[in-house]
Structure 1
C-alpha cells in the first residue's frame, strides 16, 4: 500500500488578510491528513484481525491450550493434600441439602489402569489412553459409609476427550452397572471391607477442558453386599427408595466427586496464572 500523500499548509505570516486565507487552507489539509490516518488505521487493524482469524490464534485459545496441557501434568507435581484433602466439607451435599463432612482414610499409590478399573470400564476408557490413576478413599462423619474418588489422567487431546464424553453420554456408559469404577480398600480402616460387591452408587465424569476423568464410587462400611447398585444421579432423585438412595450414597459419590473436581480446577488455574 502506498503511503497517503499529505500536503501541509504554508507558514503563516503576520498579514491579517493572508493569515485568514492560509488558515482556511491549513484546516482543509489537516482534515485530509486525519481522514487518511483513519483509513490507514482501519486497514492495519483489519489486517491484524484477519491474520489472527486465518491462523486461528487468539489469546483465549492459547490460554485454553496451555491450561489443558498443564492440567495433564499435575499428577506428578501437586501434593496429594491438594488433590485429595484430608477433610472435605460438603455443605449442602447430603440428602435434603444436609451438610456432609468426609475424612480421608487412605490414599492409593499412583498407578496405571490395569488394576484400577474392571475390564469393561478400562476398555471403554481406552480411546483416551491411560497415563496415571490417582485415588483416595473417604468415610463420612458416622464412619458408616465409604467412598473412593479418583482422577484418571489420560493421554488424549481436547478433541479426543470431547469424543469420549459424547460417547459416554450417547451410550449411557456412566449408568451401566458393569462399568462401575473399582473401590480402593485398605486394612484397618473403615474401608477395609469395601470391595467390588459392596459398590452401591457411582458417578463418572469425562472432562473436556482437561485430559482427566473424575469418578467416585460409594458403599457401606460394614461390608454388606449390594445387589442393586444405582447411579448417583438416580439415587439422588427425590422420592428414591432404594438402599443406596435411602442411605445417601448417591449424594456421597456425587458430592465428593464434585468437590475433588472443583479443587482440581482451582489447582490448574493457580498453576497457569501469570504473575501480575
Structure 2
C-alpha cells in the first residue's frame, strides 16, 4: 500500500527439488490450501470495499483508515470532479465540481450543539470538509469526513444509537455547511441547509456526512433528510429539486474515495 505525500489543505484547494514426484493427492491438497488462502484474502479485502466488518486484517484496516487525514493528499479524499452515474432523481447522472476545501480543523464550530453532543462519545481527531457544486451550478453541497478517536466498539455503539433513535433524521442535528468566501457557496449558511445525510462507519473511525442547498442563497424553512427527500412520490420543494440526491450521492462517492485509499490490493488504488 502506498500513500501520497502529505499535503496541506487550503480553501481551493518461495521450489520443488528435481526428480521428486508429488503424488496427485498431495498436489490436490496443496492446491486447495492455496485456493483457500486466496479466498480468505479476498474476503478480507471485500469486507472493506463493501463496508462490512471482516475477520483477519479488519483491525489493521480500521487503524489505517484513521490516519488518512494526514497521509493522503486532498484530491484523494475530495476529488476535484466527482461523477455520480445514476445518482440523480430517476437515475440521472450527476457531476460535481469541488469549489472549496476547508483547512483541516477540530470540530468545535462545524456542528450544531446537539449534534456535537451526540458525536462526543467518539471524539474528534480531525475534520476535513469540501464544498461542491453541480454541473448547472444550481446547488451547493458540503461533504465532511470526521476522523474520530474511537475504537471499533465505540463506532458500532454510536452507529447503533443513531439508527435506533433516528438521530440522522432530526433537523436539530444537521451538520453545518462550509461557506467559502469568494465562491458560489459564499452564502451557504445554516439557514440555507435543505437536505443532509450522516453515516457512522463501523469499519473505520470516520463519520461521513453531507449537507446540500440552493446556490442562490435562498433560505429553507423545512429542511428534509436525504432518505426522505429521495423517496418516490416526495413532493416537497427540497425533494422536487433533487437536493436529497445531491447530498446522498456526493456523500456516497466521497465515502468510496475514502475506502479506495485503504487495502492491500493494487486494484484498489487504480
TM range (shorter): 0.7 to 0.9
Which residue of structure 2 aligns with residue 111 of structure 1? Answer: 105
Q: Is the 8 A contact 1:136 1:184 kept in 2?
A: yes
Once the two structures are superposed, residues 140-191 of structure 1 have per-residue CA deviations (whole angstroms, 9 ceiling, x without a partner) of 0111100000000000000000000000000100000000000000122111
Aligned: 1:196 with 2:190:
yes
Structure 1 residue runs of 4+, over 3 Å off? Answer: 270-273
Aligned: 1:171 with 2:165:
yes
* Structure 2 counterpart of 1:214, from 195, 201, 208: 208
1:79-118 mapped onto 2 (5 Å cutoff): 79-118=73-112
Distance 2:247 2:73 in 1: 23
Which residue of structure 2 aligns with residue 247 of structure 1? Answer: 241
Q: How many angstroms does 1:205 deviate by? A: 0.2
Q: How many angstroms does 1:118 deviate by? A: 1.1
Aligned: 1:224 with 2:218:
yes
Q: Is the 8 A contact 1:75 1:153 kept in 2?
A: yes
TM norm structure 2: 0.77
* Structure 2 counterpart of 1:136, from 130, 133, 148: 130
Q: Higher helix proportion, which one?
A: 1
Once the two structures are superposed, residues 2-45 of structure 1 have per-residue CA deviations (whole angstroms, 9 ceiling, x without a partner) of xxxxxxxxxxxxxxxxxxxxxxxxxxxxxxxxxxxxxxxxxxxx
Once the two structures are superposed, residues 198-221 of structure 1 have per-residue CA deviations (whole angstroms, 9 ceiling, x without a partner) of 000000000000000000000001
Aligned residue for 1:193, secondary structure, equals coil
Aligned: 1:123 with 2:120:
no
Distance 2:106 2:112 in 1: 13
Distance 1:203 1:175 in 2: 8
Q: How many angstroms does 1:272 deviate by? A: 9.9
* Structure 1 counterpart of 2:150, from 138, 148, 156: 156
Which residue of structure 2 aligns with residue 186 of structure 1? Answer: 180
Which residue of structure 2 aligns with residue 8 of structure 1? Answer: none
Q: Is the 8 A contact 1:67 1:272 kept in 2?
A: no
Q: Is the 8 A contact 1:130 1:154 kept in 2?
A: yes
Distance 1:70 1:232 in 2: 30
Aligned residue for 2:57, secondary structure, equals helix
Cα RMSD (Å) of the superposition? 1.6
Aligned: 1:71 with 2:70:
no
Higher relative contact order (CA 8 A, sep 6+): 2
TM norm structure 1: 0.76
Q: Which runs of 5+ in 2 are unaligned?
A: 1-53
Largest Rg, 1 or 2: 1
Aligned residue for 2:218, secondary structure, equals coil
